[in-house]
Structure 1
Amino acid sequence: MKRRLFAFALLGLVAAPTWAASNCSTTIQGNDAMQFDQKSIVVPNTCKQFTVTLTHVGKLPKAAMGHNFVVSSTADEPGVVADGAKAGIDNNYLKPGDSRVIAHTRIIGGGESASTTFKVDALKPGQDYEFFCSFPGHAALMKGTISRAK
Structure 2
Amino acid sequence: MKKLFNIGSLALLTSLFMASCGNSEQSNSSQVDHSAHTTETPAEAPATTSATTSTTSNTITVESNDQMQFNVNELHVKAGEPISLTLKHVGKMGKEVMGHNLIVLKAGADVAKFSEAALQAQETDYIPQSSDIVAHTDLIGGGEESKIEFTLDKPGTYDFICSFPGHASLMKGKIIAE
Please state if 1:132 is matched with 2:161.
yes
Please state if 1:81 is matched with 2:118.
no
Give the alignment of 1:107-118 within 5 angstroms. Answer: 107-118=139-150
Please, what TM-score do these two structures have when normalized by structure 1? Answer: 0.76
Q: How many percent identity over aligned positions?
A: 41
Give the alignment of 1:44-83 within 5 angstroms. Answer: 44-45=78-79, 48-72=81-105, 73-83=107-117
Whether the aligned pair in 1 keeps the contact of 2:86 and 2:145 (CA below 8 Å) is yes
Please state if 1:42 is matched with 2:76.
yes
Deviation at 1:74, TM superposition (A): 4.8
Please, what TM-score do these two structures have when normalized by structure 2? Answer: 0.64
Structure 1 spans left out of the alignment, 5+ residues? 1-19
Structure showing greater relative contact order (alpha-carbon pairs closer than 8 Å, 6 or more residues apart): 1
Larger radius of gyration: 2
Whether the aligned pair in 1 keeps the contact of 2:109 and 2:132 (CA below 8 Å) is no
* Matched positions, count: 123
Of 66, 72, 82, 1:32 maps to: 66
Please state if 1:91 is matched with 2:124.
yes
| Shift >6 Å, 4+ stretches | none
Structure 2 spans left out of the alignment, 5+ residues? 1-53
**CA distances 1:74-99 after superposition (whole Å, capped 9, x unpaired):** 532222211111011x3121113x11
RMSD over aligned CA atoms reads 1.7
